[in-house]
Amino acid sequence: MKKLLTLVFCLCALGAHAQDPNFYIFLCFGQSNMEGAARPEAQDLKSPGPRFLWMPAVDYPATDKLPARKMGEWTEAIPPLCRPNTGLTPADWFGRTLVASLPENIKIGVIHVAIGGIDIKGFLPDSISAYVKKAPGWMKGMLEAYNNNPYERLVTLAKKAQKDGVIKGILMHQGETNTGDPKWAGMVKQVYDNLCSDLKLKPEDVNLYAGNIVQAGGKGVCIGCKKQIDELPLTLHTSQVISSDDCTNGPDRLHFDAAGYRELGCRYGEAVARFLGYEPKRPHIDMPKRIEVPADAVTAETAIPGNEFPKVDKERRAYFRIQAPQARKVVVDICSKKYDMQPDGKGGFMAVTDPLPVGFHYYFMNIDGVNFIDPASETFFGCNRESGGIEIPEGPEGDYYRPQQGIAHGQVRSIYYHSPNSKFGEWRHALVYTPAEYELAKNAKKRYPVLYLQHGMGEGETSWAIQGKMQHIMDNAIASGEAVPMLVVMESGDIKQPFGGGNNQAGRSEYGATFYPVLLNDLIPYIDANFRTKSDRENRAMAGLSWGGHQTFDVVLQNLDKFAWLGTFSGAIFGLDVKTAYNGVFANADEFNKKIHYMYMNWGSDDFIKSGDIVKQLRELGIKVDSSESAGTGHEFLTWRRGLHEFIPHLFKK
């Protein structure tokens, strides 16, 4: 595109003001659908080449992709053809159709003057002065762009263009504003007659091509105008109506969408080609790739209520849809793969993924290089920010993390506590799960053990409750007798922010280590003071996923006087020398096994963090450690849900 607009227009392309009989010029005028209301897409912005030229009716400032373009100077016809910041018009693909249909020695030129919402009177010299005075405020800037006389601007440029070529036709798309006006056809004829007179055109050689309005299946906003446009040839015999049947439209049912403008433009071009004696040929148009959504696809449980998408089918493929009429490229990024979303020609984009692993997955959309959250998705804190997310459902095997009828349900409470030891402010937020029986009057004096449960890098204190479905896992396990009733405390752990580097060897961590004094000196005392807890080490456990597993090792193994139960799920524990780590805590297996009543580690079969080697080394030292590998899952919440489900039945039992 940078090489476009390098024509030396008058001298090189057209000769030194010598009229070229093979340079066919067309005048285009009208209101918003001639002005163009759809954003040009990639195929519209490709240069049509030097055979399709355009004489701007206003000056265009330079942009990062195109140089400045001057009013009255021929240049290659790249949208927007009306004014800066307008859209795709029928003229764009009209010219491309003629280039495809006519011999290669013929060039096409257009001059384009249009104003959204303008009455046909705005193109009558005798009426324009009074019309400008009464024009609404939003139209005044558009009128001023043409020095408050769009007809005069069109004629002035047309006379200049006649020095270079021959005017062969007039394209009009106007009428919506004059819907139901019985004088409209007569005024259109008056505009046409004025053009023929002022430009010395022979009507029998220069037709008026009038495009019809948006129909929207009979529900177009100005559908009443269709009949009067269809009947225009009864008043103006040199006019030809360009059908808009089945031309697609935008959601306003007033303007065409990009695909609709292409189709209508091609129809203008075909009509002109036939009048000129040539067999019409359509240029190549990239048609939207239609994505069929199977009948078995259901709306994802993570969609905001009221939205149809995202959807998931029985093959675990996800379907995403978004309305983004001004976007050029939209991508959905999920499970480490990016999918180009396909435009539907109506301002919408859609994509279907490969089959996805069951479980929960973060995802983002990207418009023209900028990541954002799908507005149809509930948000989940992950990836160091709020993210979109989708649940790919398991079968009945996933019932352990789904809410069940017929059982008592606990609560997840939001608390704020004061923390003098905090590096990031003295008031902090945490979530606390209390089992269903905690509220019963008969248990008013009963005390409960506590599990401190940490999330992973870039997630937050809500992650276990929302993405991990912790409360459902706890409710179901307690109701079935698998697990004893317990409290579960979840805190941010100072790892919501991106990884900060530094020394992060086991026991000497910097990332997230600011949480350790907060946990030990502020959070645990707060929980013990404000909830009915059993506050000794025998009734306190800690576990964490990913970097939360790293924190669990750092905290528990250096504070065995405060914890007796330990678990990691895909624990981010690297470079661990089990013989010397944490001041040799594993060196005396008998002593360690007496202090830690249960140690558990899990990971996914497709996980990039696996603990198998650590488990093997610990067992060789005589350390009792239970473990499991989650089949078919990676570094994701289904791995960690399974791990928590397997871990909690062993807690606080001796």
Cα three-residue angle 256-262-265, rounded to 5 degrees: 95
**Amino acid identity of 316?**
R
Cα three-residue angle 638-643-647, rounded to 5 degrees: 150
Of residues 112, 173, 255, 455, which has the active-site annotation?
255
**Amino acid identity of 613?**
D
Element (H, E) at 25: strand 23-30
Do residues 456 and 511 lie in contact, with contact meaning Cβ atoms separated by under 8 Å?
no
Element (H, E) at 627: strand 626-630
Helix/strand/coil for 276? coil
Do residues 491 and 523 lie in contact, with contact meaning Cβ atoms separated by under 8 Å?
yes
Is 255 an active-site residue? yes
Of residues 205, 252, 340, 399, which has the active-site annotation?
252
**Whole-angstrom distance, CA of residue 643 vs CA of residue 635:** 12
**Whole-angstrom distance, CA of residue 260 vs CA of residue 266:** 10
Do residues 132 and 152 lie in contact, with contact meaning Cβ atoms separated by under 8 Å?
no
Size of the chain in residues:
654
Of 541, 604, 523, 596, nearest to 571 by C-alpha is 604
Do residues 269 and 97 lie in contact, with contact meaning Cβ atoms separated by under 8 Å?
yes
Of 323, 371, 383, 332, nearest to 354 by C-alpha is 332
* In 313-456, beta strands by DSSP E: 318-323, 330-334, 337-340, 342-343, 348-352, 359-367, 370-372, 379-382, 385-392, 411-418, 427-434, 450-454
**Whole-angstrom distance, CA of residue 295 vs CA of residue 133:** 57
Of residues 20, 32, 509, 630, which has the active-site annotation?
32
Q: For 15-149, where are the alpha helices, taking DSSP H only?
A: 32-35, 90-101, 128-134, 137-145
Q: Which residues are within 8 A (CB) of 328 and not within 5 positions of it... i.e. 6 or more apart?
A: 39, 41, 42, 368
Helix/strand/coil for 652? coil
Partners of 322 in the beta sheet?
349
DSSP letter for each residue of 477-503: HHHTTSS---EEEEE-TT-SSPP--S-
**Amino acid identity of 120?**
I
Of 28, 14, 9, nearest to 167 by C-alpha is 28
Partners of 464 in the beta sheet?
none
Is 32 an active-site residue? yes
> Residue 398 burial (CB < 10 Å; 0-12/13-18/19+)?
middle
Do residues 521 and 431 lie in contact, with contact meaning Cβ atoms separated by under 8 Å?
no
Task: Point out the residues that are catalytic.
Answer: 32, 252, 255
